Amino acid sequence: MTSIEPATGVRPAARAARAAGCAFVSLAGWMGLAYAVIQLRGCVGGMECLGDAIGVIFGCLLGAALSMWGLLRLARVRPAWQVALAGPGVFLLLVFGLVGRFFLGVPQLWVIAIMVAYGLGAVLVDPRVSARVRWITLGVLVALLVAGLARF
């Protein structure tokens, strides 16, 4: 029988790094697929391809989020389902609080923000991390969200 508790030999920082690495691999694979689909449709630029491109990219981002559970399991990030659910939630807090304003025109920084979100998600759901650190991290994320929403 397998345990859903985090392995005792893996430190929370290593667990967060593994989660961020899984996010990068998932995003790279799905965004590569998005690029291939856009190229196969014959889009070379311009407004006529914008709707297709946005739809494919958002579809691939959804696919990346859904495939994270399997990648996290392969990377031995336990419990993988909690990190797979926490990552997108943390990302949304970052997007509405900080990332959306500063990184709007730089897609590479969005990838880094997603990686950071999954790393923070791994820390937030790790029971070995003190409750104080988890609450402070969550408080900072919520404060970023409130500050970001106040600026709109």
Residues of the chain by 3-state class (helix, strand, coil), percent to 5: 80, 0, 20
Q: How far apart are CA 132 and CA 120, in angstroms?
A: 14
* pLDDT in 10s for each residue of the chain, 152 residues: 455 555 556 788 888 899 999 988 888 888 788 778 777 877 666 566 667 667 776 777 778 778 888 899 998 888 888 888 888 888 888 877 765 566 666 777 778 888 888 999 999 998 888 999 999 988 988 888 887 777 66
Query: What range defines the domain where residue 30 resides?
Result: 13-150
Residue 6 inside a domain? The answer is no
Residue 114 inside a domain? The answer is yes
The confidence score (pLDDT) of residue 1 equals: 46
Q: Which distant-in-sequence residues (6+ apart) come within 8 Å of 144 by Cβ?
A: 93, 94, 97, 98
Contact between 111 and 24 (Cβ < 8 Å): yes
Residue 1 inside a domain? The answer is no
Q: Structure tokens of 8?
A: 């005792």
Number of domains in the chain: 1
Residue 98 inside a domain? The answer is yes
Residue 2 inside a domain? The answer is no
Cα torsion 121, 125, 129, 130: sign: positive
Residue 76 inside a domain? The answer is yes
